[in-house]
Structure 1
Amino acid sequence: MSSLDQEQRLHPPCRDKTTVSSDSSDIHELAKQPLQGLKLASHVELEKAQQRGRLKCAKCGGSRMFFCYTCCSLVGVSIEEIPLIKLPVKIDIIKHPNETDGKSTAIHAKILAPNDVTIYTYPCIPEYEKEKVVLVFPGPQAVTVQDMIQCLLDRTDSRSHDFSDGPCLKRLKNEEAHYTTHSAEDPGSGTPDEATSPESRVYPLQRVVFIDSTWNQTNKISTDERLQDLLKVELKMRKTCFWRRQKGKPDSYLATIEAIYYFFKDFHENCLAQEYTGQYDNLLFFYTYLHSVVNKAKISAGKC
């Protein structure tokens, strides 16, 4: 269990005033909130940028803080001052056209892992090979991250028998073994301009798709015929810490950056079969800082 998991059990996100007593120590504990114990880069530069206030984006002229969610570029913070993350598998984010850019956390992933994240605006969806791509989305047919690789292998095996004699099961198992033992030395480090060899990509998974929209808008994208054949993967037993909770939705409905973080954490532990030591914690670099700012403001206003 990661520090984030432990803290979520100990300090669940605030929901109403009944969760806070008049004891000052409780208020202090609430101010800390659940995203503690992660291995994050320093937030000092974000604190300085916040003190300077909003600046104009050099590309679009919009008033922004930390980054421009329209241009996917940093504002008031240099690239040397933020962590850059190398992901073991590339991801695509399909964004609903009506999703408010300023409220989306998808931009966090694009800025922190620029070489491994692509954002598309629906109805633009690439063509995918169903044996090599998964869609992270809940549903009755969804599988866990633990079962994902075997399901993809089964699909590959089934297709090989449909079109030819295909590779034998033994070869598939050998490739699966290669998958479970091979990974970068430190996938949480490195720079986005590092060369990525085909061998560093995990067989058979080549890409992971996430949907970025409000939960009331997801149906239009998730039921698109171009995504129907993809294996669906569900992140079970995870709780959101997002400060923009959607009315009537359970706390298992995650913000986009939360879903990306939890997927790769589970992927590292269950698919790469390696101990998780914070390799992808910095995916929450902006999220944790904004979370603390919002909660401090709520406490000051007596709303929490």
Structure 2
Amino acid sequence: MSSLDEGSSDLAHTLELSKQPLQGLKLASHTVLEKAQQRGRSKCVKCGGSRMFFCYTCCLLVDVSLQEIPIVKLPVKIDIIKHPNETDGKSTAVHAKILAPSDITIYMYPSIPEYDQDKVVLVFPGPGAVTVQDMIQCLHERTDSRSRGPWVKRRKIENSPAATHSTENPGSGTSDEIKDCESRVYPLQRVVFIDSTWNQTNKISTDERLQDLLQVELRTRKTCFWRSQKGKPETYLATIEAIYYFLKDFHEQCLTQEYSGEYDNLLFFYSYLHTVVNKSKEAGRKQAQERKKQQETEKRL
């Protein structure tokens, strides 16, 4: 192969990868989903609805066992505030609840818990939003400004990565290392996401119960959701994308640890559906091209 051919091949490979934004993830095998898809839809044991893989209404697996899917442990608790008019079948929030059941809670608006504004952040774009990198420092400054003095006692973050790590791997970290990790994420205890179409988010984001929360924005990420919303920028992410990218940035920028795919399986369902949808679209385009060629041939005859 000539150097020119090699260059063309590399360019083609690069372009192909750019069309596949979910490549390179450390995911559990999709074999269980492939087999379930071949079997077709099944009824949800709770509501009786016809579903594939999971029931998006009941947040339950359908025709797939819990032992066959990955369960992800998160470094911080996450609340999802869901708009009542958001179509269940189009929401990706259920992916998060099924894959990280002990760390994810979904609330249906107008139900919103009472939050401590010094320990909870809202991931939502806005003029006053900060980056994930600046988030912890901003929370510290809030606490400082209210207390007007040094903290008397440092409280542990709920299920902190250090605490989880030390429990699962006894002796793997020193007391000083654990304290250092806790101090890097303190005082963050919970992260809130809004699940709705972008045209519906205003009602929730402007709710007075969320108004005093520090807003965090994911400014550099682009969506690859197959249900793109007309007129909205590529940085407007699907709920599961926003959760995943937040946690990845949090891991690298707040915990200052190298990311090794710890939360990739949050995209277990999303990545598979992304592939299925794209294959279907590609098959549709090819069929359309064949029909067009056939029509042009018939015209010439």
Task: State the TM bucket, normalised to the shorter chain.
Answer: 0.7 to 0.9
Summarize the alignment of residues 80-91 of structure 1 with structure 2, pairs less than 5 Å apart. 80-91=67-78
Amino acid at match of 1:185: H
What corresponds to 1:232 in structure 2?
Answer: 215
**What does residue 20 of structure 2 align with?**
33
What is the CA distance between 1:186 and its match in structure 2? Answer: 9.4
Between structure 1 and structure 2, the one with the greater Rg is 2
Please give the TM-score of this superposition, normalised by the length of structure 2. 0.80
Q: What residue number does 2:165 align with? A: 185
CA–CA distance in structure 2, aligned partners of residues 186 and 104 of structure 1: 35
C-alpha distance 134-57 of structure 1, shift in aligned 2 (>3 A): same
Report how far residue 265 of structure 1 moved.
0.1
The answer on 1:107 being equivalent to 2:91 is no
C-alpha distance in 2 between matches for 1:145 and 1:32: 26
| Secondary structure, counterpart of 1:302 in structure 2 | helix
Correspondence for 1:220: 203
Structure 1 runs of 4+ aligned residues shifted over 6 Å read none
C-alpha deviation, 1:30, in angstroms: 7.7
Q: Which residue of 2 aligns with 1:248?
A: 231
Residue 141 (structure 1) aligned to one of 92, 105, 128? 128
1:67 matched residue in structure 2: 54
**Counterpart in 2 of 1:268?**
251
Higher normalized contact order (CA 8 Å, seq sep 6+, divided by chain length): 1
Contact 1:54 1:63 in 2 (8 A): yes
SS of 2:61's equivalent in the other structure is: strand
1:283 aligns with 2:270: no
**Aligned-residue identity in percent:** 75
**Residues 108 and 286 of structure 1 are in contact (CA less than 8 Å); yes or no, is this contact kept in structure 2?**
yes
What SS is found at the alignment partner of 2:209?
helix
- Provide the TM-score with structure 1 as the length reference: 0.80
- 1:131-170 CA deviation, whole Å, 9 max, x = no partner? 0000000001000000000111111111112xxx5637xx
Is the contact between residue 44 and residue 50 of structure 2 (CA under 8 Å) also seen in structure 1?
Answer: yes
Question: Partners of 2:136 and 2:22 in 1: how far apart?
Answer: 29
1:255-277 residue CA offsets vs partner (Å, 9 max, x unmatched) = 00000000000000000000001
Separation in 2 of the partners of 1:79 and 1:31?
33
Aligned residue pairs total 261
* Distance change in 2, residues 1:141/1:150 (3 Å): same
